[in-house]
């Protein structure tokens, strides 16, 4: 699900979902059906083998704080493995989508839908499928966890890079063809560098959101079996199960260190380094800096490494020549193109029909289309929670964000803090909140909103700050000068001024809330289990009991809700923001 999106502030490159394809077209429908078939296929693969599966020895988690560094390392490894996977996926998928006219019509709507599928849905599907492939193996669980984190990162990164490929400056495209660069050379010298900045920013933001799914994937129940992977998340889980508050505290501290540490040691230097890929040929007014990068730049070994790698680079550039020149024929043979189109869509249609027939048969065996009715109804409850969450978070955080963003000094302090808060996996805090609900007797039907908000609200605050910062000082001064204050000032200056950034934040918050609903509508603390009625709880229940038709229906319906909400509300607001309220 599109959990993360970078605000549209002036100096923040990056692109989100709401940008492309605002009209419905028939490939969208084809692709949507295709995705449904794919989901069905994966679930079937998993289903076939769960019966023969003997529960693996789940490793015991030792809650001695001395083991925490080891667990933290395991978690970190998972995060970076997922990042590497996401990067590889991004480069290939976006490249193909940007360069193949036919595949683009399928790949991009598919990506749009993938963004709307709840990530924890991917997780459960992946666990069943991978355990089917590698029965009883820990590696399968590791792969499933990495895959879940991957699904929280890859879509945004792919969209960002795809968009960058489409918007390679015209003169650079002409240069590449005029000098008859090889495709390989064009990719490494022109396309990847010009997409580097949006790619890095989106990867950083997606990585921040990935922690949530890391925690969720380390402790998971599928088909009545609990699976545990050694990591910070499972450490916290074990501590809660023992009622070990100190252990819980240690885990939270370790998580905070991990999130900030990776930011300082990895992302800040990377962002600062990516500055060299700015296309504008002037010195930037606001330069991204990193002390770690400055330190690395003083060191000698990177240069040594570069020199050592030069022959290798030379070799790959030569080898890359086999991929051909960046020089398509000037004239297209229309008849051949038409024939290719017919063949392509014919094969696509046949595969789709075959899959749909299988799906229809499967559903027929399991109660028919009526399985969709309950999730559709429950979805409206979760939708109501999401709406309340966004509305309340807006009323609370927008004024605070504007207040912070209007003061450069406050912003300098608050922005990194909010960024870490947004990255901090909120599900870490769910047990504490659950404990409070149990004590106060608050129903999870309401409390669930609070749980969902724990993670989602920060995007609204973060973007409100960014939006307020983007309001030009001279406009502020002009308003002061004219004595425009109070509600009039909000109506005439602040709301229109922060609108684009706010919309981005609200889209992200809404996406995050949908995702979180799967873990926020059913929570356990010790022996107490609280359940809210909603689509999230429905999916969580289907996962635990291993009811595959219900799981399929739940995931499909949630994706449908998210897609509908995006198309009917967020995209319109986003477009309005871009056309009417952009600076």
Residues near another protein, by CB under 8 A: 169, 171-172, 174-175, 177-182, 185, 189-190, 193, 276-283, 310, 314, 317-318, 321, 325, 327-331, 580
The gap from C-alpha 316 to its chain's centroid, in whole angstroms, comes to 32
Phi-psi domain of 220 (left: phi exceeds 0; alpha: psi -120 through 50; beta: other):
beta
Cα–Cα distance for residue pair 38/552, rounded to 1 Å: 11
Work out the angle between the directed axes of helices 548-565 and 119-133 (0-180°, nearest 10).
150
Least distance (Å) between residue 192 CB and another protein: 10
Least distance (Å) between residue 552 CB and another protein: 42
For another protein, the closer of residues 193 and 379 by Cβ is: 193
Least distance (Å) between residue 476 CB and another protein: 25
For another protein, the closer of residues 172 and 429 by Cβ is: 172
For another protein, the closer of residues 276 and 298 by Cβ is: 276
For another protein, the closer of residues 80 and 499 by Cβ is: 499
Burial of 409 (0-12, 13-18, 19+ CB in 10 A): exposed
For another protein, the closer of residues 327 and 374 by Cβ is: 327
Least distance (Å) between residue 273 CB and another protein: 11
Torsion of the alpha carbons at 355, 359, 360 and 364, rounded to the nearest 10 = 160
Q: Is 195 helix (H, G, I), strand (E, B) or coil?
A: helix
For another protein, the closer of residues 285 and 527 by Cβ is: 285
Question: In 471-531, which residue ranges form alpha helices assigned H by DSSP?
Answer: 473-481, 487-489, 495-520
Least distance (Å) between residue 434 CB and another protein: 47
**Token reading at 21:** 């394809």
Least distance (Å) between residue 339 CB and another protein: 21
Least distance (Å) between residue 496 CB and another protein: 13
For another protein, the closer of residues 51 and 579 by Cβ is: 579
For another protein, the closer of residues 289 and 485 by Cβ is: 289
For another protein, the closer of residues 155 and 581 by Cβ is: 581
Cα–Cα distance for residue pair 161/189, rounded to 1 Å: 15
Q: In angstroms, how far apart are the furthest CA atoms of the chain?
A: 76
Least distance (Å) between residue 173 CB and another protein: 9
Q: Phi and psi (nearest 5°) for 136?
A: 70, 10
For another protein, the closer of residues 180 and 491 by Cβ is: 180
Cα–Cα distance for residue pair 565/45, rounded to 1 Å: 31
Least distance (Å) between residue 269 CB and another protein: 17
Least distance (Å) between residue 205 CB and another protein: 23
Strand-pair partners of 222: 225
Q: Which of 229, 39, 252 is nearest to 146 (CA)?
A: 229
Q: Is 220 helix (H, G, I), strand (E, B) or coil?
A: strand
Least distance (Å) between residue 315 CB and another protein: 11
- DSSP string covering 107-171: HHHHHHHHHHS-HHHHHHHHHHHHHHHSTT-HHHHHHHHHHHHHHHHHHHHHHHHHHHHHT--HH
Burial of 345 (0-12, 13-18, 19+ CB in 10 A): middle
For another protein, the closer of residues 305 and 322 by Cβ is: 322
Cα–Cα distance for residue pair 461/550, rounded to 1 Å: 36
Q: Which of 435, 520, 527 is nearest to 241 (CA)?
A: 527
């Amino acid at each position: 699900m599109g959990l993360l999106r970078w605000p549209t502030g002036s100096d923040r490159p990056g692109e989100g979902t709401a940008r492309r394809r605002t009209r419905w077209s028939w490939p969208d429908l084809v692709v949507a059906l295709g995705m449904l078939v794919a989901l069905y296929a994966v679930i079937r693969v998993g289903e076939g083998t769960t019966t023969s599966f003997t529960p693996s020895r789940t490793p015991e988690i030792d809650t001695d704080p001395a083991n925490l560094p080891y667990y933290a390392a395991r978690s970190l490894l998972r995060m970076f493995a997922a990042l590497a996977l996401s990067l590889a996926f991004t480069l290939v998928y976006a490249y193909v989508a940007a360069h193949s006219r036919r595949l683009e019509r399928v790949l991009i709507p598919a990506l749009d839908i993938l963004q709307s599928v709840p990530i924890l849905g991917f997780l459960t599907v992946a666990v069943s499928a991978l355990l089917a492939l590698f029965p009883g193996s820990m590696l399968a669980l590791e792969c499933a966890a990495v895959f879940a984190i991957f699904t929280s990162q890859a879509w945004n990164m792919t969209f960002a890079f795809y968009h960058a490929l489409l918007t390679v400056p015209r003169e650079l495209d002409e240069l590449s063809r005029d000098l008859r660069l090889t495709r390989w050379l064009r990719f490494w010298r022109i396309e990847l560098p010009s997409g580097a900045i949006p790619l890095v920013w989106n990867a950083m933001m997606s990585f921040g959101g990935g922690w949530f799914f890391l925690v969720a994937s380390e402790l998971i129940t599928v088909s009545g079996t609990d699976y545990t992977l050694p990591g910070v998340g499972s450490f916290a889980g074990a501590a809660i199960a023992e009622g070990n508050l100190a252990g819980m505290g240690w885990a939270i501290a370790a998580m905070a260190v991990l999130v900030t540490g990776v930011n300082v040691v990895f992302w800040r230097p990377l962002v600062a380094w990516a500055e060299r890929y700015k296309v504008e040929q002037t010195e930037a007014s606001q330069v991204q800096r990193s002390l770690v990068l400055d330190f690395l730049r003083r060191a000698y070994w990177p240069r040594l490494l570069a020199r050592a790698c030069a022959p290798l680079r030379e070799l790959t550039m030569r080898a890359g020549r086999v991929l051909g020149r960046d020089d398509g024929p000037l004239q297209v043979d229309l008849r051949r193109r038409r024939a290719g189109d017919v063949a392509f869509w014919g094969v696509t249609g046949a595969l789709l029909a075959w899959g749909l027939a299988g799906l229809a048969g499967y559903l027929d065996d399991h109660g028919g289309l009526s399985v969709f009715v309950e999730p559709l109804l429950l979805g409206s409850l979760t939708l109501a929670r999401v709406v309340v969450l966004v509305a309340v978070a807006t009323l609370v955080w927008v004024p605070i964000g504007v207040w912070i963003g209007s003061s450069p000094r406050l912003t300098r302090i608050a922005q990194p803090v909010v960024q870490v808060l947004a990255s901090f996996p909120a599900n870490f805090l769910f047990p504490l909140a659950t404990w409070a609900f149990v004590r106060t007797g608050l129903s999870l039907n309401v409390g669930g909103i609070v749980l969902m908000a724990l993670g989602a609200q920060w995007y609204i605050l973060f973007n409100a700050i960014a939006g307020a910062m983007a309001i030009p000082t001279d406009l502020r001064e002009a308003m002061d000068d004219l004595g425009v204050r109070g509600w009039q000032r909000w109506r005439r200056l602040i709301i229109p001024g922060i609108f684009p950034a706010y919309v981005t934040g609200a889209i992200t918050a809404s996406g995050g809330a949908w995702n979180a609903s799967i873990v926020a509508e059913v929570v356990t603390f010790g022996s107490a289990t609280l359940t809210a009625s909603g689509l999230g709880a429905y999916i969580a229940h289907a996962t635990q009991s291993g009811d595959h038709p219900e799981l399929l229906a739940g995931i499909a319906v949630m994706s449908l809700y998210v897609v509908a909400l995006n198309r009917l509300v967020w995209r319109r607001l986003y477009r309005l923001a871009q056309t009417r309220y952009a600076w």
